Every structure is written in structure tokens, then in C-alpha cells.
Amino acid sequence: MGRARWDWLADLVAREAIALTHDANDAPRRPALRDAISGLGWRAELLIDGLAEALQIAPHALRRPEPTVVLQTEPARLAAVLSALLDHADPRLLAVAERWLDCREVAYQLPPSTLARWLQSRRAVAERLRDRLPREGLALLGPDRLRRLAEDALDPATRKAAQQWVQRLE
């Protein structure tokens, strides 16, 4: 029996998810998934179909996430896919990732190390998540990641929000 059309992409998403899960020091990485889908030159709609299959959701659910789909999606795989989409040059794929980030439940599904990495280094993503830090920072990131953000966040507003948490924790 032959492999399905998107098995290679599902395998790549799974490997990237494992790498994100086992990234103990939260250091920035050069993800293979991002490089692969950026270098393919495929249309956005085709990539959405493949990534949806890798996440085991319908393509329309990837395009327009709802809370029930978010809660059913495996967190590390979702983090891998969103990381790749956030770095993609096609604005349609970036818009898909942004719709996921706008879904309130997503931040609680993603690994805290992924959120911290985004808040630390990606300005556009940090802007989407930063407003949640004053209320939800401890729940989203935990004290150690908040301390690192308070020192290392590139965006001053993100750093300030993390510093406020650190002051409360001391």
C-alpha cells in the first residue's frame, strides 16, 4: 500500500513537534518545516490542505479555527504549523496563523516555550500576545519564562509586562 499524498508533510510536522517539545533551553531554532514549505513554492490553498491533513483537521477548520477544533488539535503539532505559517511570505498563510492566534484558547494549547519564543523575538506575534500578559502571563508562561522575558524581550512593551509579573512574584 502506497503512502498518502501528504504523509511526508505529516511526518515533517510530527518531527518538528517533537523538536519543539524537547527544546529544553527555549533557544531559537531553524525549523525544517518552515524551510520546507517556504521553499516548495506551492500555492497557499494546496499548503493549507496538506497542513490540515497533518493536523488531522479539515482544511476549512485550519482556515477558520473554532474553540472546539483548537481543543482537539495536538498542541505541539499546532505549534509547529503555526510557527511555519508565521514565517511564510504568503500573506494568506500568515492570515491563517493570525486567525489561530486570535482564537483565545490557542495560547493555552501551545507549549509555553513556543509562546515565550514568539514573545521574545517576533514583533508581530508579540503584539498579538502581549496584551494578554498583564492578566494571563503567569498562566501562559510560568515564572521562569516570565523572568527571562523581563530581561530578554526585544519589544519594550513585552519586557515591561513581564517585568510587572516578576515584581509581583518577588
- pLDDT higher than 70, residue 22: no
Q: Are residues 39 and 103 in the same domain?
A: yes
Kindly report the pTM of this predicted structure: 0.84
* Residue 71 and residue 61 in one domain: yes
Same domain, 56 and 117: no
> Based on the domain organization, do 42 and 102 belong to the same domain?
yes
Residue with grid cell 483548537, as numbered in its chain: 70
> What would the pLDDT profile of 103-131 be if each residue is shown by its tens digit?
999 999 999 989 998 998 767 788 889 98
| Residue 99, domain extent | 1-110
- Whether the Cβ atoms of residue 110 and residue 20 lie closer than 8 Å to each other: no
* Number of structural domains in the chain: 2
Query: What does each C-alpha distance from 133 to 26, 85, 164 come to in angstroms?
Result: 18, 23, 9
